[in-house]
Structure 1
Amino acid sequence: MKGLKKQRRIQIVVVAAVALVLSTALIGYALRDGINYFRSPSEVVAEPPASDEKFRLGGLVEAGSLIRGQGETVTFNVTDGGATVAVSYTGVLPDLFEEGQGMIGTGQYIGNVFQASEILAKHDETYMPKEVMDALKEQGVYVDPDADT
């Protein structure tokens, strides 16, 4: 009788361990395409990612670089003060997208041009995405608008 209880306990522990490993593997498999790492223009220029890697690029839209092409295609440059990356995007830009403002794009780096599939822009005059702010601070470019001068 005692041996049967011990055997049943071992079976339950083994089944629970297998279920835990299986669920962890399924979660990892499901999230593999949904995880997009953030990179600043300086990081992209220093170590270009593979052309099939999807990631987020953020920085300031360089003044004078916004060019509207045929249809909905737009090209512009994104900078963090240390490096500049050319961006191409086909689609409708957010209403608050403009030169000199922070943005984050999701896409791939193909042939020295970031091909964006999604563009996010600020939602008011004072907002700056945390990743972009950190990258600009690292380059010594960011100035806090709330700081007293």
Structure 2
Amino acid sequence: MAKTEVRTCFNCSEHIPPETEHFIIDGDPYCKECVEVREYTACQYYLDGEFMGDSENDDRVDHIQDYDDEYEEEKLYKCIKEFSIDMYDSDENLIENEQKVILIGSTWERQDYSSMSDVRLQSELGWLEVADETLDTHFVEI
């Protein structure tokens, strides 16, 4: 299972929520409180007084406006009610007479896509797809 990563400012370690204005400098995220913007005919960007770049001809800094921010936090779920599901191979074909028991306490990460049901969940145990009703009755978001 992929480790859940929360986007944090590389300078102050504060959480940067989705749809929030922020900066990317040398590939790292920074909150707008840490980056000083000095306007001239374009903008210059300073981090703790050190010039980091400008808005003209500079590939080091990207100013991400809140309406352009497409970051989404990963959603994690914990199983609260044991159940069994049918097993599928890597090509999503049903494996006859084989089931997997989903144990109470197991942690699952919601994926962006689902091909066979409403929701796809991934963990170190593999993946599973469940209906919205099963998600609501057998899991809690953590």
Normalised by the length of structure 1, the TM-score is 0.28
> Based on CA coordinates, which of the two structures has the bigger radius of gyration?
1
More helix by share: 1
More strand by share: 2
Normalised by the length of structure 2, the TM-score is 0.29
